[in-house]
Structures are given as C-alpha cells and as structure tokens.
Chains A and B, each alone.
Chain A
C-alpha cells in the first residue's frame, strides 16, 4: 500500500467530469467489456450459435430427403426445395432471436439473481438506463455475428438433389438484420429483468419454445390462412402476437421470392416492438437495480 491512495484528497468537489462526457466513456467501456467477454468465449459462442441451425438444416434438408420422409407438401424434390427455401429464412430469424435470449436474458437473470455482479457496472458513472441499453447493443452485436455465421450453413448443408432458391434483396436484408437484432435483444432485456434465475426453465418451456414453433420458422405465415375454424384463419391471427413471425417473414422477403407478409406491416411492427421492449426492459432494469 503506497502511492495510489495518496492522491485521493484531490478528487473532491469540482474535479468531476461532466455527466455527459463520463457517460459516453463509460458506455463505450461497458461495450468493450462485453466484447472482451465475447472474444474470450468465442468458441462457445460460435458453437452455441451453430448447433441449433445445423441440426434443423441437417434433419430437414439432409436426413428427410435421404429417408424419403415427406416435407413440403410431399411434392417430391421440388417440394423439398421449396421447403428448403422457406427454412433458410426461418433459421436465420430463429438464430437471431436465440442470441437475444442467450446473450442478454440468461446472463442478466444470473447477474441480478445470484451474483449481483451487475452492481459494479451499475455503479459506473452513467445513468442506469444506459447500462441497460449497453446490454442491448452488445446483444444486438452478437445477433449480427450470429446472422453472418448462420447464413452459409443453410446454403451449404442439404441433400444433393435439393436446391435452395435464394434471391437476396440487399436493401431489405441490410435494414432488417439490425432491426431484428435490436428487437430480439431488447426482448432479451425484458425477459432477463422480469424472470428470476429459478424460472429460467419456465421461460424456455412457455415462451421460447412456443415462439420457436409458432414463429414461422418452418412455414410461411401466408400459408397459415389454410388453418381455419368456421372460415376464420385463427392460427394466422394468433401468431401475430409472436414477435418472431415478423422477423422470419422479413427474412423471407429479404432472401426469397416466395410469398410473405407485407413489408408495410413488417417494418412498422418491428420498429414498434423495438421501442416497446426497450422501454419495458429499461423500466424492468431500473426496478431490479434501484430501490
């Protein structure tokens, strides 16, 4: 114990930096911390990003055609190719959503619940809401990386006779990916601040799984109009509460020429969900951190 502490008395009234300057520096440093942690765990990150899409694509686009299990309405190779095209958009959307949950919700639930390690970042010299936003930005960056990693899989892994008909609409793709990443990591913030670590399994069972299966991963939303009760396409209406549907439909619009939900619906809803989840997440974050 020698010199560092001797300078303490100099840090008294007046020597503080402006709140804005300090906040900006702290915000950048928080991102730096999150990215450093990501880099450390890059192997695990990549593996965890790949495993689900790999399995989906492997089973549906390789195993199924090989064993003659019918997909795509049982119209043989052309049906299977059409299904492959549907699935690629779904898999990319799903991967981004899982990042939001794995990169934001799971760590936060732990940091709030057991370890309280979020406290040191909350005590950094910036408004608490910015700490929450920093989490979302870091999560969104991971979502972006995940999207980039996942694309090639869907392209590469499938049985020989299957053809994936992709036609990339770049303006849609390049705007959709960031919006989808921010929306899903904001959703991660909401879940991470509202769900206690004890209930993580409940979250997977009752939120993540239904979202996955009813999120347009395996089918285009437009085709759900065929599921009717008394002339009312109830399933098509019901899944509209699922945020994932707008992401997968968006990727369908961005990557294929197949039918999809109208872009006039997709963009406004995704942007509205960004605002809603971000707001709810920040409120939840402040509530968990401040008394």
Chain B
C-alpha cells in the first residue's frame, strides 16, 4: 500500500491508466445513468467505485470495457480510446463480471486455454499459462471438471484467472465478492492484494465498505451518476468532522431524540436517526457519554444501549448518499 502511494505521488498524470472525461451515458427513456464523469485511475493502484444500487458503477465499468456505448465524453484505457477502438481496447483489459459467465460447454482448464487463444496466444503458451494459473488459483485439481460443478468462490477465482490470461493493463472487477462465503471472500482478497504487489492496476466496484477500506488505494463514491468524492479511504474517514461516532439505542420518537441530543450535548456536529438508533458525530469525546445519559434522562428517553466507534467508510458513505433505500 505504501509503495503504491509513493509511486502515484508525483507522476499522477503520467501514470494515469484510465482517463474519463465528461463520460456520460443516457439510456433510452432519458435515464441518465452516468453524468459527465471525470476520473483518473493511476497505474498500479486498486481503485474502488462505491455507491448504492443504481449509482452508475456498473454502467461506468461497462463503458470502460466496451460493452456499454457512451452517449458523451471520452474514455481512454492504457492510451487507447475505448469508444473509437473497442477491438483494440479489448486487448488491454481483463473483465470479471458480477455474474458467472464462464463457458459452460468447456472444462475449467479449457476456459483458460481458449481465452488465451482468443487473445492470440499460441497453443503452447496458452497451455502453459492455463496450467500455471490453475495452480496459482488453487484450482489445479479441478482442471478437467465442468465449470458447472464449481462452487461460487471457485467460479469467481476461475473468472479472475481467465481475465489475467492475457496480462491486461487494467483488471476490472464488478462486485467481485458479492454472494461469496467469508472464506472465499478472504481468499479473493488475498489474490487481489497479491496482484497489487505485482503492479496490477485494478478497478473494482463494491458495496462492501470493509472491502473498499482494506483493499483500495483510492475510492470514488458515486451516486446518481456523479462522483461525489475521490480520495484515499483514510482521507475520506478523516473528512467526517468527528473524532468518533456515538450510536445510541433508545425507545420513543428517535427523530425528536436526535434533535434534543444535537442541541444539548456539546461537541455533537451531526445527529441523525438510522434505523432504531440515533447516530451522533462527535468532536472531542471527553465526557460525552455521561452527558448523553443525562440529556436522555431529562428529556424522558430510556437509553438501552450506547457505543462509541471511530468513523468508518460507512459513515462517510451514508453521509454522502443518505440513508434512504434504493430499489
């Protein structure tokens, strides 16, 4: 992580592997999925696109991977204009989609082999690379199995391996760990970290804050087709003007309780109801908890639980995108 931070420092513009300028996608029916997006992803970094459903993440990845045709703006990947030269651009990208799109007519090994052949590898080179990747991704004992017999985690690992067959400049991952069990998720994270240490540029979308926090060098939080903020996870967390987040569980009118706490407790910069709790952003934690109890008692609220935590990405995310359900 520190290496790449150093690397991206001065040469940010030189090392940009992905450039989006005013990238826009308007679907028929006047649905603006992505609205004038500007984005630079630097060489060697793991870049995360975060956002609620319908924020435009998958459409953005679709445009960068030639499958969605932008209605405006520009997208350059590894120096190639994706819109003008899709066939050329496909040579330098590797794509792992959200759904399992492995070739069901082929075995595990053949999925890698033929993918390599599509990308111009000789039979010998494709064979060697397929063998090697299967070992690396711990799928060697499944080489001859049908891809339909793989578990979700194995299928996802195979998809990542397949995307790496042709050494792409950028690896795109759309919700890579969605639906995986914890072990498979951790295994995939290890794989991505390993790729990162070898300098692989990765652009991923995710819903999981923990994943974004621990894997990504930088994050863009998107909503309604716009990028709201781009920064490192650390800087994003620091951007919340609070040293800690106090979560108070209580019964009664929590919206009213939130207002009371904001007015009467010193150091509260923000107060909002989230589900059946009130969340307080607090600057300077000293003496806050007794104060919360005191205020609650005065106002007639019965506090059932109280916890203090550091701001997380989720705090940042909810702050920026709101807490309303998106469907």
Interface residues of A (CB under 8 A from B): 1-14, 16-17, 19, 21-23, 25-26, 29-30, 32-33, 36-37, 40, 115-128, 289-291
Contact = CB atoms under 8 A, between A and B. Distances in A.
A163 to B, nearest CB: 43
Given A115-B104, A123-B95, A22 B168 contact: no
29 contacts: A1-B136, A4-B164, A5-B195, A7-B167, A8-B199, A8-B201, A9-B199, A11-B168, A12-B92, A16-B88, A17-B120, A22-B87, A22-B88, A22-B120, A25-B120, A36-B106, A40-B105, A115-B101, A116-B99, A117-B101, A117-B103, A120-B111, A121-B118, A122-B67, A123-B67, A124-B115, A125-B118, A290-B67, A291-B68
Given A2-B136, A5-B200, A9-B44, A117 B195 contact: no
B172 to A, nearest CB: 10
Contacts of B87: 19, 22-23, 125-127
B106 A4 contact: no
Contacts of A11: 78, 92, 167-169
Interface in B54-70: 59, 62, 65-69
A208 B162 CA distance: 38
- Interface-centre pick from B90, B133, B168, B169 (highest chain A CB count, 10 A): B90
B114 A36 contact: yes
B118 to A, nearest CB: 4
B97 A116 contact: yes
A4 B91 contact: no
A59 B115 CA distance: 46
Contacts of B180: none
A291 B118 contact: no
Nearest to B97: A119
Interface in B73-130: 78-80, 85-88, 90-93, 95, 97, 99-106, 110-111, 114-115, 117-120, 129
B164 to A, nearest CB: 6
B126 to A, nearest CB: 9
Contacts of B120: 17, 21-22, 25-26, 29, 125
Contacts of A119: 67, 95, 97, 101
Contacts of A116: 97, 99, 101
Interface of B: 17, 25, 27, 43-44, 59, 62, 65-69, 78-80, 85-88, 90-93, 95, 97, 99-106, 110-111, 114-115, 117-120, 129, 132-133, 136-137, 162, 164, 167-169, 190-191, 194-195, 198-201
A115 B69 CA distance: 22
B115 A12 contact: no
Given A5-B198, A117-B102, A16 B114 contact: no
Contacts of B43: 9, 12
Contacts of B79: 12-14
A1 B114 contact: no
Given A9-B43, A22-B87, A124-B90, A29 B114 contact: yes
Nearest to B59: A291
Contact of B167 (A4, A118, A124): A4
Contacts of A290: 66-69
A29 B201 CA distance: 27
- Interface-centre pick from A4, A6, A116, A122 (highest chain B CB count, 10 A): A4
B65 A17 contact: no
A3 B133 CA distance: 10
Contacts of A19: 85, 87-88
Given A119-B95, A121-B118, A290-B68, 15 more contacts: A5-B195, A12-B17, A12-B79, A16-B80, A16-B88, A17-B91, A26-B119, A33-B118, A116-B97, A117-B101, A126-B87, A290-B66, A290-B67, A291-B25, A291-B67
Contacts of A118: 101
A105 to B, nearest CB: 16
A29 B95 CA distance: 19
B116 to A, nearest CB: 9
B86 A8 contact: no
Contacts of B97: 116, 119
Nearest to A34: B105
Contacts of A122: 67
A1 B136 CA distance: 5
